[in-house]
A and B are shown apart, each in its own frame.
Chain A
Amino acid sequence: GQNIDQPTEMTATEGAIVQINCTYQTSGFNGLFWYQQHAGEAPTFLSYNVLDGLEEKGRFSSFLSRSKGYSYLLLKELQMKDSASYLCAVSRGSTLGRLYFGRGTQLTVWP
């Protein structure tokens, strides 16, 4: 199986920066994904890393270290609407969407 670990909950204030970490242990690693899920809504794709390094997309950035089995999602200039669950998922050696998810990190942004 896959061991995908991320913190259960995090809190931060508006305008701040927050980093959500994810560690994984898996064979046949083929990429790491981050999804955002607001309560009662569909998970939506945020980012994808397959090579080591940082991918930046506006206020959100994602980092991957394959040798360390580690990724993080960095959220800058936090807004209230960023309060959501952030799901880390690993893809294993497949061209189909067989993703293995962590339990998600519930982020609460306070005014």
Chain B
Amino acid sequence: ETGVTQTPRHLVMGMTNKKSLKCEQHLGHNAMYWYKQSAKKPLELMFVYSLEERVENNSVPSRFSPECPNSSHLFLHLHTLQPEDSALYLCASSQGGAQGANVLTFGAGSRLTVL
């Protein structure tokens, strides 16, 4: 366990379904992130939250909707997804400040398959 927990670990959904991915960090960090990892492609940054405020939306389609109710929890709400959205979705957290800000601690990911 890394201190960042993601649920569910695996999710299969149809294109008309609505589901949510959950991330919880137990590290006392103040920034949280969603990254997407597709086969044979680099990890892509999707969203950044700092102190519960969204500070970056990296041109992500609106069918992905993040929510950060507090500094320990992050959600990714999914609706009307496409098969090409099938990927591993990784949550990460970091501690703000010049030294440690960019050292991300990742969760194990939620493997999403869209049929």
**Chain A residues near B (Cβ < 8 Å):** 4, 30-31, 33, 35, 40-45, 48, 87, 89, 91, 94-104
Contacts and interface: CB of A to CB of B under 8 A. Distances in A.
Nearest to A103: B42
B102 A42 contact: no
A97 to B, nearest CB: 4
Which of B90, B94, B101 has the most CB atoms of chain A within a 10 A radius of its CB? B101
A45 B90 CA distance: 14
Interface residues of B, number: 29
B101 A96 contact: yes
Interface of B: 2, 4, 31, 33, 40-45, 48, 50, 55-56, 90, 92, 94, 96-98, 101-109
Which of A98, A100, A103 has the most CB atoms of chain B within a 10 A radius of its CB? A98
Contact of B31 (A33, A41, A91, A97): A97
B58 to A, nearest CB: 8
A94 B58 CA distance: 15
Contact of B90 (A33, A40, A42, A89): A42
B43 A101 contact: yes
